């Protein structure tokens, strides 16, 4: 390296890290790789992010903010709560398919924090929309069901795990219709 850059910004580090995650996955690089890409040293990177985990958390926060913005934009002008959920789910799936490594990054257990503030900013609006359909008493449970479905479906899709014949798009549409049709009726069901 001919000349080191010493006044590197967080934004530059985060941008390079996102690119490395997209191309190599979270486990495919280290802080030295980031330093090389921004023409600096690992020691200088460590003055911004003491370890790779703190760097990945910062990238995750940015990814969650981008996702929140995309989900919010997906329902602009949409009045019906069920349609809002539909567009939010389609946007989430599209994000997972276009940026699978960033999708995986969002769900890494070691990057979870106690506060869950960033995740709440993404999830709270969805819970509020679901409460309009399922009622306040069932909104959190219904939201957890939707989140687990979306995470599982998207993970299986980007990993190539759907092996049965038929269209994955049709399966997604069917699953969403089934979820939405069950939301209203589920609040009145009781089991032993």
Q: Dump the DSSP string for 24-68.
A: H-GGG--HHHHHHHTTS-HHHHHHH-SSHHHHHHHHHHHHHHHHH
* Tokens read off for 67: 């996702």
pTM for the predicted model, two decimal places? 0.88
Residue with tokens 């089991």: 191
Going by pLDDT thresholds of 50, 70 and 90, the confidence category of residue 147 is very high
CB 17 within 8 A of CB 25: no
For residue 50, report the phi and psi dihedrals to the nearest 5 degrees.
-65, -25
pLDDT value, residue 37: 94
Give per-residue pLDDT as tens, 98-127.
999 999 999 999 888 777 777 788 889 999
Going by pLDDT thresholds of 50, 70 and 90, the confidence category of residue 190 is low
Domains of the chain (ranges, CATH numbers): 1-50 (1.10.10), 60-186 (1.10.357.10)
Residues in the chain: 192
């Amino acid at each position: 390296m001919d000349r080191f850059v010493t006044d590197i910004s967080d934004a530059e580090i985060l941008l390079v890290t996102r690119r490395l995650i997209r191309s190599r996955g979270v486990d495919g690089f280290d802080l030295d790789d980031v330093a090389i890409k921004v023409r600096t040293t690992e020691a200088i990177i460590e003055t911004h992010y003491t370890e790779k985990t703190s760097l990945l958390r910062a990238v995750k926060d940015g990814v969650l903010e981008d996702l929140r913005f995309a989900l919010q934009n997906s329902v602009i002008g949409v009045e019906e709560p069920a349609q809002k959920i539909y567009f939010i789910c389609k946007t989430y799936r599209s994000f997972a398919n276009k940026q699978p490594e960033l999708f995986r990054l969002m769900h890494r257990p070691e990057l979870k924090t106690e506060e869950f503030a960033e995740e709440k900013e993404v999830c709270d609006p969805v819970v509020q929309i679901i409460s309009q359909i399922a009622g306040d008493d069932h909104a959190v449970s219904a939201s957890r069901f939707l989140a687990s479905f979306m995470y599982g479906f998207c993970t299986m899709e980007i990993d190539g795990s759907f092996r049965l014949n038929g269209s994955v798009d049709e399966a997604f549409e069917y699953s969403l219709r089934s979820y939405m049709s069950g939301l209203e009726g589920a609040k009145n069901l009781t089991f032993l």
